[in-house]
């Protein structure tokens, strides 16, 4: 892949945790500047302040949404669950690049910044809600419903 030297893109990093997730989770750097086609490595940090182990899983969002199809994660902590022991702190890497085709998309002609945002959830305790249904996905009554 060849970097496109004429256009540098600022990739900004942000993070939060969902609901009752106890971890302290944040990016280690505010942003990086890269060219489409160039790889980059960024780190987030997570700390479990609790006295018990916690397993978490991260979801991500890329903004603007039109840029998401060009944002490619080669390796990411979000690909699998993360287990942190009590008081443990870890560095969480994400290795990525912006597809060079980004530079040829007319919808993104003026785009100079992409935001990569992660949200960590507690993997075993969160309940997935289905829009329009007031019961959680793990509710036995909902799981017993016949499939069509």
In a domain, 4, yes or no: no
pLDDT, position 19: 84
C-beta of residue 97 within 8 angstroms of C-beta of residue 148: no
The domain that contains 52 carries what CATH number?
2.60.370.10
For residue 88, what are the CA distances in angstroms to 27, 31, 33, 139?
Answer: 17, 25, 30, 32
Q: How many domains does the chain have?
A: 1
Residues ≥6 apart with Cβ < 8 Å to 88: 47, 48
State yes or no: pLDDT of 133 exceeds 80.
Answer: no
Candidate from 60-64, 115-119, 142-146 with smallest mean pLDDT: 142-146
Question: With a threshold of 0.75, does the pTM exceed it?
Answer: yes
pLDDT, position 132: 55
In a domain, 2, yes or no: no
In a domain, 1, yes or no: no
């Amino acid at each position: 892949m060849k970097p496109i030297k004429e256009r540098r893109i600022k990739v900004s990093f942000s993070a939060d945790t969902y609901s009752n997730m106890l971890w302290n989770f944040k990016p280690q750097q505010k942003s990086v500047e890269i060219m489409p086609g160039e790889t980059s490595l960024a780190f987030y940090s997570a700390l479990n302040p609790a006295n018990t182990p916690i397993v978490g899983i991260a979801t991500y969002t890329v903004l603007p949404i039109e840029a998401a199809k060009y944002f490619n994660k080669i390796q990411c902590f979000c690909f699998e669950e993360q287990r942190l022991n009590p008081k443990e702190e870890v560095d969480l890497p994400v290795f990525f690049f912006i597809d060079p085709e980004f530079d040829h998309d007319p919808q993104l002609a003026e785009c100079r910044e992409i935001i990569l945002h992660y949200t960590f959830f507690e993997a075993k305790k969160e309940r997935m809600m289905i829009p329009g249904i007031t019961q959680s996905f793990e509710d036995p009554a909902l799981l017993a419903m016949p499939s069509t």
